[in-house]
Amino acid sequence: MQPAGRSPTTPLYIGLVITLLAVVGYSWYVTGRIASLRQLQNDLIDRNRKDSLQLLRIQNELNSIGISMRDMLDVDPLETGQRYPLTAWRPQFQRMREDLDDAFRREQQFSPAGRTVDQQQYLQSSLSQFWDAVDRIFSLAESGKEGEAREQIRLSLQARLAGISNSVARLLVQNNESEERATVQVTEIYDHVQRQAYFFLIGTLIAIVLTSLYLIRSNRLLFNQLAALSAQRSELAQTLISAQESTLRYVSRELHDEFGQILTAMGAMLGRARNLAPDGSQLRADLMEVREVAQSALDEVRSLSQALHPVMLDEAGLEQTIEWYLPVVERQTGVGISYDKSGAPFPVSGSSAVHIYRILQEALNNVARHSGAKKAWVRLRFAKEELELEIEDRGSGFATARAKRGLGLVAMRERAELLGGTLKFEVPAGGGTTVRLRVPKESLSREAQEIHA
């Protein structure tokens, strides 16, 4: 195994913080640019448009005034050679003056920021001088000097009106130019924001790719370490289970052979000594009692030997060992066991038989010790592709936490993995626990072939 490297948590946190800062920074930047666009539109474009509308209104009023002055100078078409008196035009000029003053007042409210004070003062001064000249003309007309008044219109008033019209036209042109510049600025801002969006998107994609590659690399190293640990754990579990079975087999044989032979010899010697003692003597009765104790000890040793490692597994196989073992459990625990075997049997021997037997043994021990059930069902099925062993009870079941912590259950899972099978703990509809072991026939056949080889 490779030594564990630095945890990827810190770099991932750093990457997350950088990403969040980048998002916040870009959001702040975009918000600022949008605010500048809104300010530009409010302060320049919209005001320019409103001011241009007022300037057009002023220009229309000036054109109306110019038409009126031309009519003042023309001869009346209904009376050849005759003209309307100039004083008759005074109410019309008064009305146009009011409209023009209102238009100028409104225009000053929307005048753009680029308008200079000199331009505004010049326009106001020119308009004031124009109305002063109009008042003088009407004063001359009222005093009977209409000819001089018309001459002033022709020489002075029309020139002043043309100057004011030119000033208004220049302001309109200036507004159009400002609006065009503002449009260019808006376009530049949009283009700049778009470029920044592309850069941000590319940077984000690069960060995502780098983070993903780092995660993939970290996960690959982690999975490699987990695979190595799993392999070591499986190897260790197999070694421990093999050592356990070897020890149990050795102890079982020692009990069966050595102690069994000793107790058998003791029983034979006690029998011969009993035969030599006089009939009806106390010694004969004592020897008989000691022989019965020795025989009972021999039975216990043989039973313990079978419990540690049934010799039948090596001699008769799994099926007959299960058939022998279940009545023993019934006698020892008082739990009634229903046994059902189905399917076409195939040979199961060697370590596979030992593992299956140990799983059955541990499951029945759990039934007797923890479930409180008085009835259990054991089902052995030989299917076409697998062997299935099922142990079911209607007891209290067991908690998930205990199922994870119990050493016996852990050993059962390890044995199932060594067999290449699956072990599941289920809760049937009626309550209790069902332990289901499934082992592929291929795994059992492969092991049988290895044993024969």
Q: Is residue 204 part of a domain?
A: yes
Please check the confidence at residue 256 and state whether its pLDDT lies above 80.
no
Q: Which domain holds residue 338?
A: 310-452
Per mean pLDDT, which of 120-129, 202-211, 216-225, 328-337 is the most reliable? 328-337
| CB 401, CB 427: distance < 8 Å | no
- C-alpha span between 344 and 338 (Å, rounded): 20
The CATH number of whichever domain residue 444 belongs to comes to: 3.30.565.10
Query: In whole numbers, what is the pLDDT of the chain averaged over residues?
Result: 80
Of 4-13, 41-50, 181-190, 283-292, least confident by mean pLDDT is: 4-13
Task: Identify residue 191 by its one-letter amino acid code.
Answer: D
| Burial of 194 (C-beta count, 10 Å sphere; 0-12/13-18/19+) | exposed
Give pLDDT tens digits for 173-184.
887 877 777 778
Based on the fold, state whether residues 209 and 333 are members of the same structural domain: no
Computed over its alpha carbons, how large is the radius of gyration of the chain? 57
Based on the fold, state whether residues 316 and 175 are members of the same structural domain: no
| CB 164, CB 127: distance < 8 Å | yes
Based on the fold, state whether residues 206 and 322 are members of the same structural domain: no
- C-alpha span between 274 and 155 (Å, rounded): 170
DSSP 344-355: ------HHHHHH
Q: How many domains does the chain have?
A: 2
DSSP-derived secondary structure letter, 145: -
Q: Is residue 267 part of a domain?
A: no
pLDDT band at 93 (very low <50, low <70, confident <90, very high): confident
3-state secondary structure of 60: helix
Please check the confidence at residue 170 and state whether its pLDDT lies above 50.
yes
Helices 350-366 and 318-333, packing angle to 10 deg: 20
> Domain boundary at 215, 231, 259, which?
215
Q: In this predicted structure, what is the pLDDT of residue 339?
A: 92
How many C-beta neighbours within 10 Å does residue 380 have? 22
Give pLDDT tens digits for 45-73.
777 788 888 888 888 988 888 888 888 88
> Which residues touch 203 (CB under 8 Å, ≥6 apart)?
22
pTM of the full structure: 0.50
Q: How far is CA 158 from the centre of its chain?
A: 79
> Domain boundary at 215, 236, 264, which?
215
Mean pLDDT of the region 332-338: 89
Q: In this predicted structure, what is the pLDDT of residue 453?
A: 45
DSSP 7-40: -THHHHHHHHHHHHHHHHHHHHHHHHHHHHHHHH
